[in-house]
Structure 1
């Protein structure tokens, strides 16, 4: 026996999606599926809903649809001020690379500020609930960073540039192989004949800084130079002034280094300044290699380890867009949710600050 139509529903001049649902005897979500994903609805139900859409003269709210579409093309990103004393920041290159990757996929960045990591996670959750952004990018992730767990708990899609020390199988991240970068710098200097290779880096406890120091240490050990280099490891804040002071400390040693690897180009500029004030010619008397290959490094002809930031930006954006497009599908549990991990190799750019052979009499 054919199902009888339900009585007409009194509607306003512009009937709503709810009016159609009541008239057809289905849920609001079913009507939405008929409009946007008809393949999910049984044929007989779809026909009944389409009948009442036509009978009531229902027209979807195009303004609301446009707002939802625009929100789905927004990616949230917390911006932070440049660290005091730093000459340049890799953050600027990453932000530009991320914006370019988003633009290529018809997505745009929604920049916001927050006082700390907890506030950032809360702001991301609010933006997600309000439709302000579909997903988020985490930057400058530390070893014990609480943001990934917080966003996982809130059900907010995100991808991290960098990774924590634990739990990296639970979320998507893209990172640069920092130990490989400093190890490549040591290999290069050893091949130029250096045996006393110093390291100027950040204090222990910073994830990126620790990994760069580990790369230097591992390469020193691999080349059998531990005895010559164990006292040539100094740490301090990331500023030109601190780099200069730490370089003075190295140059004052009874057996000073003939080459120095630094954790950043900012510190490398401090080493260059100290060497020049010490009366040394960089590239002849002492070799210096920085990290990040900033425009400053190119301007000063400083060898430096280049991060593939443009590639990082593309991977982060593509991974996040995959995640946000899958939100409508049933979500696996947190314990079985697949993660996406990409560890990208940096590249050493050799310039005059380290290209020459090691000095013969130092």
Structure 2
């Protein structure tokens, strides 16, 4: 069996010191870009991978990242986070890291659970999901010293211009903008079906529709409903009774899209409907939808936390321009 490449092999191949290789793996921000790229190329060429058990003993780290398992709620859109957890587990494993999944019903319960795991040295970092405005978890986790990153932006002062922690999010406005531009090929009357105002994610997705309609010089109707298929069906039916006449409908989720399709079918109207999340339901029913690409989100999260090829959580300065990643979603046309 061929001998596995070592750090020394990588250093010799790249023409750098052993410490430089270590810096690229653990604290890449301090290495000059050209040198970093040369080391990364050597790592790829040699197929180097550090032994996780030896690293754990030497650095006294758990090589584990904690993430909450969301309560099972069923429905159409619940599969998105399931896909993300699956993707982050696979990507973490490739870096010699493990995922520890825990349950928590409220933000306070989640904070307490993470404190236990952190104080017990069971995790090196955490990923939080389901961010909200004035999220109570952010300040408490900052105070605890636990390295963390969120899937979902903070939706407040702690955002792109003035970041206070690392985050990765899907650019919802870009997704609905692409969906609306496609919908406009069916006619200028494109309606938007979204959630009540105040939801950061919902408002962002509505913004994409507004921007695309404004760029096209047209206006469209807005219909609001909770993310429940029966309620959506009733809301859209009511809007149709009140005179809604649309050439296409862009929706903030696939659940909303299904409710809209049912209401349109009840009214014997054939109108293209575009969803968001690209769930198996969208594929089964054959309607277009925006794909969030949770696999890309997972890869971006680990890169922000660990560097391009790092296999430990690497502390980094949180500063504007490098503390976040926005993943551009993809419109899947059917």
In our comparison, the structure showing a higher alpha carbon Rg is 1
Aligned equivalent of 1:325, options 309, 313, 332: 313
Contact 1:170 1:338 survives alignment (8 Å): no
Partner of 1:252: 241
Partner of 2:174: 180
Which stretches in structure 2 are left out of the alignment for 5+ residues? 1-52
Contact 2:228 2:256 survives alignment (8 Å): yes
Moved more, 70-79 or 254-263: 70-79
Report the number of matched residues: 275
Partner of 1:167: 158
- SS of residue matched to 1:143: coil
After superposition, the Cα gap between the structure-2 partners of 1:147 and 1:93, relative to the gap in structure 1 and judged at 3 Å, is same
Cα distance, 1:67 vs structure 2 = 7.4
Contact 2:63 2:123 survives alignment (8 Å): yes
In structure 2, distance between residues paired with 1:205 and 1:254: 26
Give the TM-score taking structure 2 as reference length. Answer: 0.75
Cα distance, 1:170 vs structure 2 = 1.4
- SS of residue matched to 1:238: coil
Cα distance, 1:65 vs structure 2 = 9.0
- 1:265-296: CA deviations, max 9, x gaps? 1111111111112112xxxx311000011111
Aligned equivalent of 2:228, options 226, 239, 250: 239
After superposition, the Cα gap between the structure-2 partners of 1:248 and 1:70, relative to the gap in structure 1 and judged at 3 Å, is farther
Partner of 1:111: 101
Tell me whether 1:123 sits opposite 2:123 in the alignment: no
What is the RMSD computed on CA atoms of the aligned residues? Answer: 2.5
Cα distance, 1:149 vs structure 2 = 1.9
Partner of 2:326: 343
Cα distance, 1:144 vs structure 2 = 2.1
Matches within 5 A, 1:26-41: none
After superposition, the Cα gap between the structure-2 partners of 1:311 and 1:70, relative to the gap in structure 1 and judged at 3 Å, is farther
Partner of 2:189: 196
Partner of 2:199: 206
Give the TM-score taking structure 1 as reference length. Answer: 0.70
Contact 2:71 2:105 survives alignment (8 Å): no
Matches within 5 A, 1:8-27: none
Cα distance, 1:254 vs structure 2 = 2.5
In structure 1, distance between residues paired with 2:88 and 2:175: 22
Partner of 2:210: 217
Cα distance, 1:88 vs structure 2 = 3.8
Which stretches in structure 1 are left out of the alignment for 5+ residues? 1-62, 352-362
Cα distance, 1:143 vs structure 2 = 2.5
Contact 2:69 2:102 survives alignment (8 Å): yes
Contact 1:196 1:259 survives alignment (8 Å): yes
Cα distance, 1:299 vs structure 2 = 1.0
Contact 2:305 2:314 survives alignment (8 Å): no
Contact 2:254 2:279 survives alignment (8 Å): yes
Aligned equivalent of 1:295, options 280, 302, 308: 280
After superposition, the Cα gap between the structure-2 partners of 1:87 and 1:137, relative to the gap in structure 1 and judged at 3 Å, is closer
- SS of residue matched to 2:123: coil
Contact 1:200 1:246 survives alignment (8 Å): no
Tell me whether 1:133 sits opposite 2:123 in the alignment: yes
Tell me whether 1:266 sits opposite 2:255 in the alignment: yes
